[in-house]
Amino acid sequence: MYAIAMSEMRSGKNFGAPGAEPADLLRLIAQNGDKSALSELFLLFGPKIKAVMLKGGASDALAEDLVQETMLTVWRKAALYSTERGAPSTWIFTIARNLRIDQQRRKSNRPHEDLAKVEIASDLPSGSVMVEQNQVISRVSLALQALPAEQQEVVRLSFINDIAHSEIATMLAIPLGTVKSRLRLAYERLRPLLEDLQ
């Protein structure tokens, strides 16, 4: 039954579908502790988070655990999320990233999470949501797809496959400086859009 629900979800519901906006689901979780909203969000993002974790080198079991931990953190911290702080996928990406780092380190020091606390305490949301949040993400996606292939490649290897710049250099047999300059060029191409979206 669960599998059927999932496949319906995949084929039938798009992110832009009314009533299924991830930002609305987060609001329902924050305000009402709404478990059906959590379920819907899980079906939207769980399979994507798992895919990213697998590409980052996690085993199937570990990827499943990281999906669970990510979504549980989303459930617990939904009240801290604000649409004015960014798109839900961005927020969920940062949670998943931080858990992936924690898992690799097995240590109590968490620079990324501490920084997130500083942001919540010090950075007021801009107060103006200029672009609807899912549009933000699809515009960034389009801009990423428009990058030259060699820039896309290093961006993906870094953000999705979780590979350090020096290892990317070794993999692609290019100097480390070339990896860094491709990333800088990619940012310069994306910059007008990213600045516009904030």
Partner 1 sequence: MTISHHPDMSTLMAFSAGTLDEPYAAVIATHLAMSSGGRAIARRLDLIGGALLNEEQDAELTPGALDRLLAATDRTQQPDEARPETDVPLPLAHYLPDGLTGAKWKWSGPGVAICDLPSSADTSRLMLLRVAAGRPVPEHGHGGHELTLILTGAYRDRFGVFGPGDIADHDEDVEHQPIAEMGADCICLVAVDAPLTFKSRLIRTLQPLFGL
Work out whether 125 is an interface residue with partner 1 (CB under 8 A).
no
Asked if 146 touches partner 1 (CB under 8 A), the answer is: no
Packing angle of the helix pair 176-196, 165-172 (nearest 10 deg) = 120
Total Cβ atoms within 10 A of residue 52:
21
CB-nearer residue toward partner 1: 148 or 184: 184
The answer to the question of residue 137 lying near partner 1 (CB under 8 A) is yes
Using CB under 8 A, count the residues that bind partner 1: 84
Of 3 and 173, CB closest to partner 1: 3
Q: Is 170 in the site for partner 1 (CB under 8 A)?
A: no
Sole residue written with tokens 């079991």 = 61
Could you say whether residue 149 binds partner 1 (CB under 8 A)?
no
Cα angle 29-66-81, degrees, rounded to a multiple of 5: 30
Mark residues 94-123: x for contact with partner 1 by CB under 8 A, - for none.
x-xxx-xx---xxxxxxxx-xx-xxx--xx
- The reply on whether position 177 binds partner 1 by CB under 8 A is yes
Q: Is 106 left (phi over 0), alpha (psi -120 to 50) or beta?
A: left
Name the token pair of 49.
């988070």
Among 20, 25, 81, 91, binds partner 1 (CB under 8 A): 91
Among 13, 85, 132, 189, binds partner 1 (CB under 8 A): 85
Q: Of these, 62, 158, 172, 189, which contacts partner 1 (CB under 8 A)?
A: 158
Give one DSSP letter per residue of 13-76, joined into a string. Answer: --TTSTT--HHHHHHHHHHH--HHHHHHHHHHHHHHHHHHHHHTT--HHHHHHHHHHHHHHHHH
* Shortest spacing between CB 81 and partner 1, in angstroms: 13
66 binds partner 1 (CB under 8 A): no
